[in-house]
Amino acid sequence: MFLFKLALRYSFSKQNKQRQTNIMIIIGIALGFTAFIIVIGLMNSLQQSQLDSLKALESFDIIVDNSEIDINTIQEMEGVETAFFFYETPAIAVNLSSGESTYLRIRAFENDIILNNPRLSNFVNWSLQKPSSISNLAFAQKAALNIGAGFDSEIKLTILKKGKTATLMPYNFTDKIDSMFYTGISEINNSTVFCNYNKMEQYLGQEERKIGIFLSSDSYLESIATQLPTSITWKKYNASLYQALLLEKFIVFLFLSFILIIVCVNLKNSTKRLISNKQMESAILCTFGMTKQKIVHLYIYQAFLISLISLILGSGLSLLIAKNLQGIFRFISQVIFFFTRRTSIFSFLPVRIIISSKEIILFSIFILFFTWFFTQIGLRPFRKSEIMGVIRHENN
Amino acid sequence: MKTIKNNSIIDLVNLSKTFDSGTKLELNIFKQINLKIDQALSYSITGKSGTGKSTLLQIIGGLDKPTEGKVIVGGKDYSKLNDKQKSKIRNKKFGYIFQNNLLLEDFNVLENVMMPFLIFGNKKEDSLERAKKLLDRVGLLSKIDKMPNILSGGEKQRVSVCRSLMNNPELILADEPTGSLDEENAKIIEDLLFSLVQEEKVSLLLVTHNKEFASKADKKFVLINKGLQDEE
């Protein structure tokens, strides 16, 4: 405790020439830590919203590719929020009035799922008005645009279905667009059409059905997937994207760490300077019975103290920024608009930050480790020196 | 009250110090010095500049190493002790007063005085009374919360005297304690030092070039011709 008090005094005493440098280092680490939390938090938020959209519209939490499994059994499993049938099949769509065609994917859900289940319906934005049911075709806006189609356009769709003699045979049907939508995923916007569920059941038969599952929590993912042999989890379904997101996070983490390494190098230089400034004090303490080892501890405590204060300040600042992010983004956006007369990306960025305590703890440990490491390097000349020699020279 | 034992605090046995001049020639400061420092006595060492008075004092206080010979502290060879044992001896047995006082600039007067006591993990409350008593004795009780940079040279040295006595040491090592003071302040420190060591029953080893100051000691030595001679 005494050493800690001594370290505190040595860090911030008004008489200490090093005080200003220490304060600058604290500001540096605190800002670096804040930058880390905000950037990682924003990235978490962006990645999460991307994954949420994917899990809602594309892969759900789990897809079971076997219609023979009893949906009620799945529904009763612990952790399953909703289990539902759906159809998914590739198709060629031709706009009968313009003759333009495109390759797309048909998906069919029961009305209750696509329109009323918030896990899915919250991610679908309907053009003009939300339909009361999907009676015919609900086209993705961009996909409709690609073939020059609009509301009430007649579309001929060609799909492949199991034949009696051939494995697969083309099957054509014509339907009318009675609603249009868009989502946050451009792939879906370019190539998806929702079809009436009963019609698809009639065209493809019940054996082509798949089961989509929404879980109450991601923690059930692996246990449920193991119980359903023909299932595929959202992580596997979106494997390449998921890996890319993880890689992206790692790279950002790494580069942000470099900023802090630079700050820690400053800490090392500051420790060196401090030792040089405090050479006489160290010798006096040694004269009065403090061991060299204790003096080394004193300097290490001091460095840790600076880092800890920085981490606390950085955390506080991050929380403050996270709380007022919307206002900050609005301000930045207005400043950019003032100078460029263009709407900036800040107008569209999510106004939430997902702060992961694991990441913060990991990064804090990382900072503390580098504090220790660089302080040890800074202390190397001191360890080799003969401390009390300073007193000899002073008095001779 | 300190218990006075009859045995010596420190024995210097054939002590020699040589400096490496960087050439083939070695600079012999002093050689074959033998001295016994007993309890509750004052000793002074005078001599011309460069004769090695301060070096001898620093070797005795464990701040420097002899080239040859031994410093026996409490019956043990100081050079054979480990870092922790040496630190303990410096803390418990010795009190140091330097020419330039060497107060810690980041700490106030009271904290400076208590520092040797606190270094060994003692509680502040346990030393507060003694520190205040010592500061009162030197007339600085009203300045206990002042920082050293606003004190005069004489006041700083008085704080330094208190600090040296804080841990009830057996021996005070004073290296030119009045060397950087004006005549008036030097006189105050001289009187204070001798009366305090008498009150506290502490031994004093004083190194000075001031013969009048040195003459007040019980035993007087002069460092001359690379050896220590009894002045009486």
Beta bridge partners of B42: B204
Confidence band of B1 (pLDDT split at 50, 70, 90):
very low
3-state secondary structure of B50: coil
- pLDDT, position B5: 47
Beta bridge partners of A88: A107
pLDDT at A395 over 70: no
> Do the chains contact at A392 and B58, CB–CB below 8 Å?
yes
pLDDT at A345 over 80: no
Query: Which of A284, A289, A290 lies nearest to residue B102, judging by beta carbons?
Result: A284
User: For helices B109-119 and B124-137, what crossing angle results, to 10°?
Assistant: 130
Cβ contact A64:A228 at 8 Å:
yes
Residue A345 is given by DSSP the state: G
> Do the chains contact at A290 and B98, CB–CB below 8 Å?
no
The H or E element spanning position A135 is: none
Beta bridge partners of B12: B35, B71
Report which listed range, A89-103, B17-31, B76-90, is most confident: A89-103
| Pairing assessment for the beta strands B42-46 and B219-224 based on DSSP bridges | parallel
> Do the chains contact at B175 and A291, CB–CB below 8 Å?
no
Separation between Cα atoms, residue B31 and residue B29, nearest integer Å: 7
Confidence band of A392 (pLDDT split at 50, 70, 90):
low
Confidence band of A67 (pLDDT split at 50, 70, 90):
low
State mean pLDDT over A58-83: 88
Q: Which residue of B has its CA nearest to A390?
A: B63
> Do the chains contact at A288 and B116, CB–CB below 8 Å?
yes
Beta bridge partners of B203: B171
State mean pLDDT over B137-159: 90
Query: Which of A10, A289, A293 lies nearest to residue B119, judging by beta carbons?
Result: A289
> Do the chains contact at A281 and B119, CB–CB below 8 Å?
no
- pLDDT, position A211: 92
3-state secondary structure of A194: strand
Kindly report, residue by residue over B167-213, the tens digit of the pLDDT: 889 999 998 888 877 888 888 888 888 888 888 888 999 898 888 88
Confidence band of A273 (pLDDT split at 50, 70, 90):
confident
Confidence band of A394 (pLDDT split at 50, 70, 90):
low
- pLDDT, position A144: 93
> Do the chains contact at B176 and A13, CB–CB below 8 Å?
no
- pLDDT, position B2: 42
Kindly report, residue by residue over A142-151, the tens digit of the pLDDT: 999 999 999 9
| Cα separation values, B59 from A296, A319, B28, B39, Å | 24, 58, 15, 19
Instruction: Give B126's contacts in chain A (Cβ within 8 Å).
Output: none
Q: Which residue of A has its CA nearest to B58?
A: A392
Q: Which of A264, A247, A299 is nearest to A32 (CA)?
A: A264
State mean pLDDT over A48-76: 86
CA angle A93, A98, A103 (to 5 degrees): 20
State mean pLDDT over A363-380: 86
> Do the chains contact at A15 and B115, CB–CB below 8 Å?
no
Separation between Cα atoms, residue A45 and residue B170, nearest integer Å: 69
Beta bridge partners of B126: none
Query: Which of A284, A287, A395 lies nearest to residue B54, judging by beta carbons?
Result: A395
> Do the chains contact at B106 and A9, CB–CB below 8 Å?
yes
Q: Which two tokens stand for residue A244?
A: 């890319």
Beta bridge partners of B15: B33
Using a CB–CB cut-off of 8 Å, the residues of A that contact B are 2, 9-10, 13, 15-16, 280-281, 284-293, 388, 391-392, 394-396
- pLDDT, position A351: 67
Separation between Cα atoms, residue A86 and residue A57, nearest integer Å: 12
- pLDDT, position A53: 86
Q: Which two tokens stand for residue A35?
A: 């930058």
Cβ pairs bridging A and B (under 8 Å): 76
Kindly report, residue by residue over A121-167, the tens digit of the pLDDT: 888 999 888 888 888 999 999 999 999 999 999 999 999 888 777 78
Separation between Cα atoms, residue A211 and residue B109, nearest integer Å: 80
> Do the chains contact at A290 and B84, CB–CB below 8 Å?
no
In one-letter notation, the amino acid at residue B190 is E
> Do the chains contact at A291 and B104, CB–CB below 8 Å?
no
Q: Which of A334, A302, A312, A324 is nearest to A8 (CA)?
A: A302
Q: Which residue of A has its CA nearest to B89?
A: A289
State mean pLDDT over A197-203: 91
> Do the chains contact at A281 and B58, CB–CB below 8 Å?
no
State mean pLDDT over A6-25: 79
Q: Give how far B167 is from chain A: nearest CA, Å.
A: 10
CB environment A350-360: b (16+ within 10 A), e (fewer) = eebbbbeeebb
Mean of the per-residue pLDDT values of chain B: 85
> Do the chains contact at B64 and A289, CB–CB below 8 Å?
no
pLDDT at A284 over 90: no
Query: Which residue would you say has higher pLDDT here, A378 or A66?
Result: A378
Query: Which of A13, A287, A388 lies nearest to residue B106, judging by beta carbons?
Result: A13
Query: Which residue would you say has higher pLDDT here, B11 or A346?
Result: B11
Q: Which of A239, A236, A225, A207 is nearest to A64 (CA)?
A: A225
> Do the chains contact at A396 and B55, CB–CB below 8 Å?
yes
Kindly report, residue by residue over B52-93, the tens digit of the pLDDT: 888 888 888 888 888 889 899 888 888 888 888 888 888 888
Determine which of A1, A8, A13, A288 to mutate to test the interface with B (most B C-beta atoms within 10 Å).
A288
> Do the chains contact at A13 and B149, CB–CB below 8 Å?
no
Instruction: Give A289's contacts in chain B (Cβ within 8 Å).
Output: 87-88, 90-92, 116, 119-120
Query: Which of B100, B105, B115 lies nearest to residue A288, judging by beta carbons?
Result: B115
Mean of the per-residue pLDDT values of chain A: 86
Using a CB–CB cut-off of 8 Å, the residues of B that contact A are 54-55, 58, 61, 63-64, 83-84, 87-88, 90-92, 96, 98-100, 102, 104-107, 115-116, 118-121, 147, 149, 163, 175-176
> Do the chains contact at B96 and A288, CB–CB below 8 Å?
yes
Backbone torsions φ then ψ of B34, nearest 5 degrees: -125, 130
Determine which of B27, B106, B147, B207 to mutate to test the interface with A (most A C-beta atoms within 10 Å).
B106
Report which listed range, A8-22, A206-220, A333-347, B1-15, is most confident: A206-220
Confidence band of A355 (pLDDT split at 50, 70, 90):
confident
In one-letter notation, the amino acid at residue A177 is I
3-state secondary structure of B144: coil
Q: Which two tokens stand for residue A317?
A: 């600042």
What's the predicted TM-score (pTM) here?
0.72
| Close Cβ partners of A338 (under 8 Å, ≥ 6 residues apart) | none
Separation between Cα atoms, residue A43 and residue A38, nearest integer Å: 8
